[in-house]
Amino acid sequence: MTTQLEIERALDGLLGPGTDELPDRVLDAAMAAIATTPQRRSFVPTRRFSLMSTGWKLVAATLAALVVVVAGVALVGRPSGPNVGGASPSPSTPAASGAASASASVGPSASASRSPSQLASIAPSSSAAPGSAFAPGPVAAGTWHTPIFRPTVVLTMPDGWTRTREDRELFGLRLGKADLAFTHTAPSLALDVVHRTNQADPDDPTPVTLGAYTGFQTALTVPGRATMYFDEGSRAYDTSVGDSLKTWVVDVDGRPLSIYLSGPTADVQAALPAAEAILATLGMP
């Protein structure tokens, strides 16, 4: 049996003077361990407490509701009518065919963007044009006109061609892999401007007559990879390495019309006589 005296002696050994002090070697070892042990960060976010009492919260909510009601009454009570501050802005028009032309582009920079009303006023409505309106797909022999592209182009077509694309900035036909495109690339009929539609041509453009319209043409060349023209959505159309290119620019009632024949060399050479025959029928309503 443990006596009261033995318990007192054990407590004196634990709680007596000097028992709460450790030897220096133990303290040095503990400090070294603390300095080299990585500390784990707590992932518990710091809690934040609002200092606003419940009563003040109710007051703030009531004031916010009153502000919403007053604003709603003011809007409903405003009289309807035209915008006194000015007309609403019109939708932006896509860039013109050569507006984004880079320095390496075959075609020159075009004039500023045109609104739909300006584009539509360039030529009379194609509804009065002779022949049938071009539609996507194969084109039968006969007289056809462009229903969208302006100025309205009227052509007498042989069999074998396909209408590939048309918008207000680009009208395209294809024979095999050769593309015949009508665009607004050249802003004028100046020789240097016409030459920029086919910069691979080492000579100056030569005079040409297409139907009732006069202008200039470049020689058939192999320009390498370069941008030729853009459609209404500003998508660029480029030549591929090894492609051939021939261009024409004619004056249509004071406005230049740019025409491109491009594609693999063999296809362009095969399509050139047919393309020249088609362009010889070029007319406008």
**71 in a structural domain:** no
Q: Is residue 183 part of a domain?
A: yes
Q: Quick one: average pLDDT of 88-115?
A: 36
Stretch 33-58: mean pLDDT, rounded?
A: 50
CATH number at residue 123: 3.40.1000
| Distance, CA of 153 to CA of 174 (rounded, Å) | 16
Selected residue with higher pLDDT from 71 and 166: 166
Domain span at residue 229?
Answer: 116-131+139-279
Answer yes or no: is 188 within a domain.
Answer: yes
| 208: in domain | yes
Task: Report the chain's mean pLDDT, rounded to a whole number.
Answer: 75
Strand order in the sheet with 137-139: 137-139, 161-166, 170-175, 178-183, 255-264, 243-252, 213-217, 206-210
Alpha-carbon span 51 to 68, nearest angstrom:
25
Q: Is the peptide bond before 17 cis (omega within 30 degrees of 0)?
A: no
pLDDT band with cut points at 50, 70 and 90 for residue 277: very high
Within 77-124, residue ranges assigned H as helices are 116-120
Write phi, then psi, for 263 (nearest 5 degrees).
Answer: 145, -175
pTM: 0.58
Share above pLDDT 90 across residues of the chain, in percent, rounded to a whole number:
53
What DSSP state is assigned to residue 91? Answer: P
Q: What percent of the chain shows pLDDT beyond 70?
A: 56
On whether residue 59 sits in a domain, the answer given is no
- Range from 104-108, 191-195, 247-251 carrying the lowest mean pLDDT: 104-108
| pLDDT, tens digit (0-9, with 9 covering 90-100), for 113-131 | 333 333 333 344 445 788 9
Closest CA to 230 of 90, 91, 113: 113
- Which residue from 173, 155, 170, 266 is spatially nearest to 211, judged by alpha carbons? 155
* pLDDT at position 29: 67
d(CA 244, CA 262): 6
- Asked whether residue 238 is domain-assigned, the answer is yes
| Angle, alpha carbons 151-157-162 (nearest 5°) | 85
| Residue 251 domain-assigned (yes or no) | yes
Assess if residue 48 is contained within a domain. no
Does the pLDDT value for residue 80 go beyond 50? no
Mean pLDDT of 32-48: 51
pLDDT average, residue stretch 244-270 = 96
Q: How many independent structural domains does the chain possess?
A: 1
Closest C-alpha to 200, from 227, 185, 222, 181: 222
pLDDT surpasses 60 at 20: no
For Cα atoms 32, 33, 38, give the angle at the middle one, nearest 5 degrees.
120
Residue pair 177/239 in contact (Cβ under 8 Å)? The answer is no
